């Protein structure tokens, strides 16, 4: 397949993922509103917000790193998404998947936040370094159980290629990692809560405590880019989790159904629980999910994987 | 409480004493004896809390009245120590050494009434009126309406009703014989 | 000769920032704000539609208005169904809600926050105090007319207006935005000197730059 065709396919896939991620965001706001007993904004509200932020007539910049911050963040989201095969066996949605892409994806999940830290730091507002410090600390802690779960999965399938991991889970739903390696899934799903930054772990972006956190100085189009990335990055994370732990998807409908339910897990937890303080959330991540991750590696190393 | 008042009256001569209710008493002392009385109340009688410090402008007498409101946590008693100071040379001793937080009250009073407390920290700094250039606004000879009309732009077409007349016309027109509402202190 | 002349004109156009100390003047911007023209009719119409459906509110609770703004977010009045969302920073907000009387100390902060907002920006003035002073018309410390200091798009009369009145005010603002009548940002730039003169007349200790970028 020529590289240009592949680029075209990737562009289509990215737009589908962004639209899907933003719609999910709208649905989440609706669900939260229903839990509060409100009507809530319409489902397409995130799209209106993005048009509105891009339609501002002026934008204040604080320097070169400030300009690059949102770009890095978007690059993190794009990078994560572009190396994940979205639909198993589909040429249109296979993106740039290759051998060892799992490591690259793990790197890109972290990359966006680091770039954001550089950009927001130049904004000069005292709350943005505070938000970044909390964000990076929380990210480091939830990366521990997530990495352990990924290592466990890599040992189990003896591969670092997402496509072959998905291939190994085909056949029956009993082949999913969810049933063959449940401890790794427990560790990873708990770290997903931190990754999505919904309620128990939303201290990073808490508008009541440190007004909006890292993007406090981001305005106009900068904020628009960040919001676009929020949709894309959410979709990328969900697809990654679906591929690693829930057997991947063979068509678009299956992908939508599976990712929707994975997302709803963190939404329901978020709607039901109040917010953790930073030190509580760090301790939580380094305790139970980490133990589950270590146990899953020991379990897999002793009893072997499928291959 | 009566014992305490008697005791203080023995120490100095109280100029006036008023019992508002069982737990709230006011007495007026000379300006020179104020600090002594306050430190006695704080150190020996258990009135450890300065609730507030406030000034009243008695322009007719040419005096400012300062109210030091003290509270005793054990007997749950309030004492208001009043003192009258001269309005022209408004200046009195600072009590920030007795209660550290008094400096903030003194700063506010200095800004609002122009009463000086020599030695009080940051007393000359502005409290809420940033960059105020006129007479201190809470003095009663300061015409606030005239100042407002001079400084802020009036929107034409404003009409005002005297509340008493307006309510009489609206509510009591059909009840010409209804008795006037009496206040307690009339 | 011509270039020198141009430089002189440019220097005159720059803001003096006289109230800042000499050594700090270089740290702050001295450019005047400039008007930004609208796009062509149809594109601007579309953008205005999106702006009116997604109002980000910076609530400035100066007085009793702060109490009336809170119920708007609760499930009884639920402003989010109209696309109104609270935003904690002026950089991201598009609607500035002045909640009641504004004292001189507050108007300084109001001007600062207003100038930091990214246009197009709209102002909703809440309560009688912002219209003609309300019950504080003769106060030495509260302003009487807000529109002498920042451009106001919608007034909501009352003392205090109920949350329903606030929602009605927001809907009126939406209609105005869609009709393209809310050009307060450009108005502020056009009458910049007049607004600055009014502001400096009451804010005596002006210790900030003349325009807060």
Q: Chain B closest CA to C141's CA: distance in Å?
A: 8
Secondary structure (DSSP) of B71-137: EETTTTEEEEEEEEEESTT-B----TTTSTTHHHHHHHHHHHH--B-TT-TTTTS-SSSTT--SS-T
Please give the backbone phi and psi of residue C85, each rounded to the nearest 5 degrees, phi first: -130, 140
Please give the backbone phi and psi of residue C158, each rounded to the nearest 5 degrees, phi first: 135, 165
| pLDDT per residue rounded down to tens, chain A (307 residues) | 688 888 888 889 899 999 999 999 999 889 989 988 888 899 999 999 999 999 888 888 888 888 888 888 888 888 888 888 888 877 777 777 777 788 888 888 888 788 788 888 787 788 888 888 888 888 889 889 999 999 998 888 888 888 888 888 888 888 888 888 888 899 999 999 888 888 788 877 776 666 677 778 888 888 899 889 989 998 999 999 998 888 888 888 888 999 999 999 888 888 888 888 888 888 999 988 999 999 999 988 887 654 4
* Pairs of residues, one from chain B and one from chain C, whose beta carbons lie less than 8 Å apart: 61
Residue B96 in contact with residue B110, Cβ under 8 Å? no
Q: Report if residue C157 sits inside a domain.
A: yes
Among chain C residues, the shortest Cα distance to B156 is held by C132
Q: Which of A26, A37, A49, A58 to mutate to test the interface with C (most CBs of C within 10 A)?
A: A58
Secondary structure (DSSP) of C30-61: -PPP-------HHHHHHHHHHHHHSEEEEEE-
Give CA separation, B66 vs A121, B46, B59, B93, B113, in Å: 51, 21, 14, 12, 11
Which chains border B (3 or more CB–CB pairs < 8 Å)? C
**Residue holding tokens 């930054």?**
A197
Does B contact A via 3+ CB–CB distances below 8 Å?
no
Q: Report if residue C82 sits inside a domain.
A: yes
Task: Examine the pLDDT at C9 and tell me if it is beyond 70.
Answer: no
State the pairing for strand pair B49-58/B63-72.
Answer: antiparallel
Residue B118 in contact with residue B94, Cβ under 8 Å? yes
**Cβ <8 Å between C120 and A56:** yes
Task: Determine the pLDDT at residue A128.
Answer: 82
What is the C-alpha to C-alpha distance for residues A139 and A196, in angstroms, rounded to an integer?
11
Task: Determine the pLDDT at residue A207.
Answer: 66
**Cβ <8 Å between B131 and C132:** no
Residue A276 in contact with residue A199, Cβ under 8 Å? no
**Cβ <8 Å between C51 and A216:** no
Question: Which residue among C36, C54, C81 places its CB closest to the CB of A39?
Answer: C81
CATH for B64 = 3.30.460.80
**Cβ <8 Å between C50 and A56:** no
Lateral strand order in the sheet of B16-21: B16-21, B24-29, B77-86, B63-72, B49-58
Task: Determine the pLDDT at residue B183.
Answer: 47
Which distant-in-sequence residues (6+ apart) come within 8 Å of C204 by Cβ?
B130, B131, B132, B133
CATH for C138 = 3.40.50.12280
**Cβ <8 Å between A56 and C85:** no
Task: Examine the pLDDT at B93 and tell me if it is beyond 60.
Answer: yes
Take residue C204 and report the two structure tokens written for it.
């005596």
Question: Which residue among A36, A45, A212 places its CB closest to the CB of C75?
Answer: A36
Mean residue pLDDT of chain A comes to 86
Residue A78 in contact with residue A232, Cβ under 8 Å? yes
Task: Determine the pLDDT at residue A1.
Answer: 65
Q: Which of B152, B155, B156, B159 to mutate to test the interface with C (most CBs of C within 10 A)?
A: B152
Q: Report if residue B174 sits inside a domain.
A: no
Helix pair A101-123, A127-157: axis angle to 10 deg: 180
Task: Examine the pLDDT at B70 and tell me if it is beyond 90.
Answer: yes
Torsion of CA A87, A88, A94, A100, to 10 degrees: 120
Task: Determine the pLDDT at residue A209.
Answer: 66
Take residue A85 and report the two structure tokens written for it.
């095969």
Interface check B177 vs C, CB under 8 A? no
For residue range B133-184, list pLDDT tens digits in order.
888 889 988 888 888 888 888 888 887 778 778 877 777 666 655 555 554 5
Residues of B in contact with C139 (CB under 8 A): 144, 148
Among chain A residues, the shortest Cα distance to C45 is held by A55
Q: Report if residue C80 sits inside a domain.
A: yes
Cα R_g (chain A), whole angstroms: 19
Take residue A271 and report the two structure tokens written for it.
């709607």
Task: Determine the pLDDT at residue A307.
Answer: 45
Q: Report if residue B177 sits inside a domain.
A: no
Classified as helix, coil or strand, C86 is strand
**Cβ <8 Å between C138 and B148:** yes
Task: Determine the pLDDT at residue C16.
Answer: 75
**Cβ <8 Å between B131 and C203:** yes
Secondary structure (DSSP) of A215-265: GGG--HHHHHHHHHHHHHHHHHHHHHHHHHHS---SSHHHHHHHHHHHHHH
Per-residue DSSP letter, C142: B
Task: Examine the pLDDT at C80 and tell me if it is beyond 70.
Answer: yes
Task: Determine the pLDDT at residue C61.
Answer: 79
Task: Determine the pLDDT at residue B109.
Answer: 93
**A86-90, A173-177, B116-120, C8-12: range with lowest mean pLDDT:** C8-12
- Within A37-63, where are the H helices? 45-54
Q: Chain A closest CA to C34's CA: distance in Å?
A: 10
| Rounded (5°) CA angle A58-A60-A61 | 135
**Cβ <8 Å between B126 and C140:** no
Question: Which residue among A52, A218, A220 places its CB closest to the CB of C54?
Answer: A52
What is the C-alpha to C-alpha distance for residues A81 and C67, in angstroms, rounded to an integer?
45
What is the C-alpha to C-alpha distance for residues A237 and A259, in angstroms, rounded to an integer?
9
Cα R_g (chain B), whole angstroms: 21
| Domain that residue C61 falls in | 51-202
* Pairs of residues, one from chain A and one from chain C, whose beta carbons lie less than 8 Å apart: 80
Q: Report if residue C155 sits inside a domain.
A: yes
**B-proximal residues of C, 48-107, CB under 8 Å:** 103-105
Backbone angle region of C38, left / alpha / beta, with phi > 0 → left and psi within -120 to 50 → alpha? beta
Domain count, chain C: 1
Domain count, chain B: 1
Among chain C residues, the shortest Cα distance to A45 is held by C83
Which distant-in-sequence residues (6+ apart) come within 8 Å of B170 by Cβ?
none
B161 burial type by CB count under 10 A (0-12 exposed, 13-18 middle, 19+ buried) = exposed
Question: Which residue among C132, C140, C145 places its CB closest to the CB of B147?
Answer: C140
Task: Determine the pLDDT at residue C49.
Answer: 92
- Beta bridge pairs of residue C155: C125
Residues of C in contact with B147 (CB under 8 A): 140
**Cβ <8 Å between B152 and C202:** yes
Task: Determine the pLDDT at residue A26.
Answer: 92
Q: Containing H/E element for B26?
A: strand B24-29
Question: Which residue among B130, B137, B158 places its CB closest to the CB of C140?
Answer: B137
Question: Which residue among A29, A36, A217 places its CB closest to the CB of C91?
Answer: A217
What is the C-alpha to C-alpha distance for residues A173 and A258, in angstroms, rounded to an integer?
12
State the pairing for strand pair B16-21/B24-29.
Answer: antiparallel
| Domain that residue B45 falls in | 2-148
Q: Report if residue B160 sits inside a domain.
A: no
What is the C-alpha to C-alpha distance for residues A258 and A270, in angstroms, rounded to an integer?
19
Task: Determine the pLDDT at residue C150.
Answer: 92
- Reported pTM: 0.85
Question: Which residue among A33, A40, A57 places its CB closest to the CB of C36?
Answer: A57
Residues of C in contact with A41 (CB under 8 A): 80-81, 83, 85
Task: Determine the pLDDT at residue A210.
Answer: 67
Task: Determine the pLDDT at residue B186.
Answer: 45
Question: Which residue among A41, A216, A220 places its CB closest to the CB of C118?
Answer: A220
Residue C157 in contact with residue C66, Cβ under 8 Å? no
Residue B63 in contact with residue B84, Cβ under 8 Å? yes
For residue range C120-172, list pLDDT tens digits in order.
899 999 888 888 888 888 888 888 888 899 999 999 998 888 889 999 999 99
Residues of C in contact with B144 (CB under 8 A): 138-140
Among chain C residues, the shortest Cα distance to B129 is held by C105
Residues of B in contact with C206 (CB under 8 A): 131
C96 burial type by CB count under 10 A (0-12 exposed, 13-18 middle, 19+ buried) = buried
Q: Is the CA virtual torsion B19, B25, B31, B32 positive or negative? A: positive
């Amino acid at each position: 397949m020529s590289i240009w065709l592949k680029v075209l396919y990737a562009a289509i896939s990215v737009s589908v993922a962004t639209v899907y991620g933003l719609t999910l965001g709208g649905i989440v706001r609706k669900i939260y509103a229903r839990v509060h007993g409100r009507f809530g904004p319409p489902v397409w509200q995130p799209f209106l917000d993005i048009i509105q932020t891009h339609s501002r007539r002026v934008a204040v910049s604080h320097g070169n790193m400030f300009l690059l911050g949102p770009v890095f963040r978007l690059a993190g989201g794009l990078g994560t998404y572009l190396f994940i095969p979205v639909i198993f066996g589909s040429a249109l949605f296979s993106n740039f998947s290759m051998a060892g892409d799992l490591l690259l994806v793990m790197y890109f999940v972290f990359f966006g936040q680091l770039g954001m830290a550089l950009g927001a730091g130049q904004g000069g507002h005292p709350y943005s370094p505070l938000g970044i410090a909390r964000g990076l600390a929380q990210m480091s802690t939830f990366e521990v159980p997530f990495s352990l779960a990924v290592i466990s999965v890599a040992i189990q399938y003896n591969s670092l290629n997402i496509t072959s991991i998905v291939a190994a889970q085909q056949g029956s739903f009993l082949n999913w990692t969810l049933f063959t390696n449940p401890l790794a899934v427990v560790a990873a799903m708990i770290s997903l809560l931190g990754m999505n930054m919904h309620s128990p772990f939303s201290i990073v972006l808490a508008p009541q405590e440190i007004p909006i956190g890292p993007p406090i100085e981001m305005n106009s189009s900068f904020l628009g880019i960040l919001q676009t990335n929020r949709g894309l990055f959410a979709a990328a994370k969900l697809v990654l989790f679906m591929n690693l732990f829930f057997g991947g998807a063979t068509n678009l409908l299956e992908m939508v159904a599976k990712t929707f339910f994975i997302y709803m897990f963190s939404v329901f937890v978020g709607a039901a629980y109040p917010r953790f303080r930073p030190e509580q959330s760090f301790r939580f991540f380094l305790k139970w999910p980490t133990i589950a991750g270590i146990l899953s590696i020991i379990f897999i190393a002793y009893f072997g994987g499928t291959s | 409480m009566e014992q305490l008042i008697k005791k203080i009256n023995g120490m100095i001569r109280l100029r006036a004493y008023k019992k508002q209710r069982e737990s709230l008493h006011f007495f007026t002392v000379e300006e020179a004896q104020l600090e002594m009385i306050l430190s006695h109340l704080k150190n020996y009688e258990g009135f450890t809390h300065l609730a507030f410090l406030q000034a009243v402008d008695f322009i007719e007498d040419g005096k400012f009245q300062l109210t030091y409101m003290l509270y005793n946590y054990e007997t749950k008693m309030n004492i208001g120590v009043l003192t009258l100071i001269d309005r022209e040379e408004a200046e009195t001793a600072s009590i920030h050494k007795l209660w550290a937080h008094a400096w903030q009250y003194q700063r506010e009073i200095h800004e609002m009434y122009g009463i000086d407390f020599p030695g009080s920290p940051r007393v000359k700094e502005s409290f809420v009126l940033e960059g105020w250039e006129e007479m201190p606004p809470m003095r009663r000879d300061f015409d606030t309406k005239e100042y407002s009309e001079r400084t802020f732009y009036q929107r034409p077409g404003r009409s005002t009703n005297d509340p008493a007349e307006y309510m009489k016309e609206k509510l009591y027109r059909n009840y010409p014989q209804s008795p006037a509402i009496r206040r307690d202190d009339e | 000769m011509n270039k020198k002349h141009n430089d002189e004109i440019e220097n005159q156009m720059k803001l003096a920032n006289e109230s800042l100390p000499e050594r700090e003047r270089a740290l702050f911007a001295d450019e005047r704000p400039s008007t930004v023209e609208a796009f062509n009719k149809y594109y601007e119409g579309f953008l205005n539609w999106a702006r009116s459906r997604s109002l980000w509110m910076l609530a400035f609770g100066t007085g009793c208005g702060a109490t009336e703004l809170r119920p708007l977010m609760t499930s009884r009045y639920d402003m989010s169904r109209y696309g109104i969302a609270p935003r904690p920073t002026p950089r991201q907000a598009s609607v500035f809600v002045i909640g009641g009387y504004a004292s001189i100390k507050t108007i300084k902060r109001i001007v600062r926050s207003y100038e930091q907002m990214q246009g197009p920006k709209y102002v909703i003035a809440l309560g009688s105090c912002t219209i003609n002073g309300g019950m504080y018309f003769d106060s030495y410390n509260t302003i009487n007319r807000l529109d002498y200091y920042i451009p106001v798009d919608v007034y909501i009369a009352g003392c205090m207006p109920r949350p329903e009145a606030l929602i009605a005010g927001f809907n009126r603002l939406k209609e105005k935005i869609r009709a393209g009548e809310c050009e307060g940002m450009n108005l502020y730039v056009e009458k910049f000197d007049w607004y600055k003169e009014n502001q400096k007349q009451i804010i005596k200790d002006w210790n900030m730059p003349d325009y807060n970028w």
